[in-house]
Amino acid sequence: MIGKYHTSITNKALGDKLNGYATNYVDKGNTDSDKLRDKIAGISDGYDLSAQHFNKTSLENCEKFLKDAQEVVVDDFIQAANSNGDDEYYEQAFYDLGRLVHNIQDFYSHTNWINYNNEELWNEDVKKPNLEKNQELKTGNYTAFSQYIDKINPFYIYDLSSNYDFYYESDVDMSHYGLNKDEPNTIADRLYEDKYGVSGFTKAADLARSHTLKKWDDIDAILQEELDKDVYEDMVDEISSFDSTQENFDENIDKYRENFNSDMKELK
Ligand SMILES: [Zn+2]
Rounded (10°) angle between helices 3-14 and 200-226: 50
Span from the CA of 92 to the centroid of ligand 1 (angstroms): 20
Spatial separation of the C-alpha atoms in residues 100 and 83, rounded to whole Å? 22
Span from the CA of 104 to the centroid of ligand 1 (angstroms): 9
As a whole number, mean pLDDT of residues 100-114 equals 97
Spatial separation of the C-alpha atoms in residues 141 and 233, rounded to whole Å? 45
Span from the CA of 148 to the centroid of ligand 1 (angstroms): 20
139 phi and psi angles, rounded to 5 deg? -125, 170
pTM of the model: 0.96
pLDDT (0 to 100) of residue 118: 87
Span from the CA of 24 to the centroid of ligand 1 (angstroms): 18
Span from the CA of 29 to the centroid of ligand 1 (angstroms): 11
Span from the CA of 248 to the centroid of ligand 1 (angstroms): 24
Spatial separation of the C-alpha atoms in residues 39 and 55, rounded to whole Å? 16
Span from the CA of 231 to the centroid of ligand 1 (angstroms): 34
Spatial separation of the C-alpha atoms in residues 113 and 121, rounded to whole Å? 9
Span from the CA of 84 to the centroid of ligand 1 (angstroms): 34
As a whole number, mean pLDDT of residues 12-39 equals 96
pLDDT (0 to 100) of residue 147: 85
Residue 241: pLDDT over 90: yes
Q: Which of 197, 200, 204 is nearest to 187 (CA)?
A: 200
Percent of the chain with pLDDT over 70: 100
Spatial separation of the C-alpha atoms in residues 111 and 168, rounded to whole Å? 9
pLDDT (0 to 100) of residue 223: 98
Residue 69: pLDDT over 90: yes
Span from the CA of 38 to the centroid of ligand 1 (angstroms): 13
Span from the CA of 51 to the centroid of ligand 1 (angstroms): 9
Span from the CA of 106 to the centroid of ligand 1 (angstroms): 6
Residue 19: pLDDT band with limits 50, 70, 90: very high
Count the Cβ atoms, other than its own, within 10 Å of residue 135: 16
Span from the CA of 55 to the centroid of ligand 1 (angstroms): 8
Span from the CA of 103 to the centroid of ligand 1 (angstroms): 7
Span from the CA of 131 to the centroid of ligand 1 (angstroms): 23
List, as ranges, residues with CB under 5 A of the ion ligand 1. Answer: 53, 106
Report yes or no: 242 and 87 within 8 Å, Cβ to Cβ: yes
Span from the CA of 34 to the centroid of ligand 1 (angstroms): 5
pLDDT (0 to 100) of residue 134: 85
As a whole number, mean pLDDT of residues 170-187 equals 92
3-state SS, residue 47: coil
pLDDT (0 to 100) of residue 9: 98
pLDDT (0 to 100) of residue 146: 85
Residue 142: pLDDT over 90: no
